[in-house]
């Protein structure tokens, strides 16, 4: 079972799709697993697109990261 709440840390704050964040999907009592996002480079331009309410609370999905990488 996921611990996702109203501001859903399991959803990309840019497109709303599942961000597949292993850390957000972990129950608080479990050891946090490493996630794909820990091995990814996020551009400053991409990070600036995150709404203030979601900053530090929800990961960007791989699709948005890859889309930005192709356009920059």
pTM reported for the whole predicted model: 0.74
Structural domain count, the chain? 1
In a domain, residue 10? The reply is no
Range of the domain at 51: 22-71
DSSP state of 13: T
In a domain, residue 65? The reply is yes
Q: What is the secondary structure of 25-45 as a DSSP string?
A: HS-TTSPPPP-GGGG----HH
In a domain, residue 56? The reply is yes
In a domain, residue 45? The reply is yes
Question: pLDDT value at position 3?
Answer: 46
In a domain, residue 16? The reply is no
CA distance 43 to 25: 24
Cβ-in-10-Å burial (0-12, 13-18, 19+) of 29 comes to exposed
pLDDT digits (tens, 9 = 90+) for 1-60: 344 447 888 899 999 999 988 877 665 555 556 788 888 888 899 999 999 989 988 889
Question: pLDDT value at position 39?
Answer: 85
In a domain, residue 51? The reply is yes
């Amino acid at each position: 079972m996921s611990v996702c709440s109203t501001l859903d840390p399991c959803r990309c704050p840019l497109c709303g799709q599942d961000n597949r964040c292993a850390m957000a999907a972990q129950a608080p009592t479990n050891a946090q697993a490493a996630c794909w996002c820990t091995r990814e480079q996020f551009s400053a331009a991409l990070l600036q697109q995150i709404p203030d309410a979601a900053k530090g609370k929800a990961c960007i999905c791989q699709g948005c990261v890859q889309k930005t990488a192709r356009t920059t």
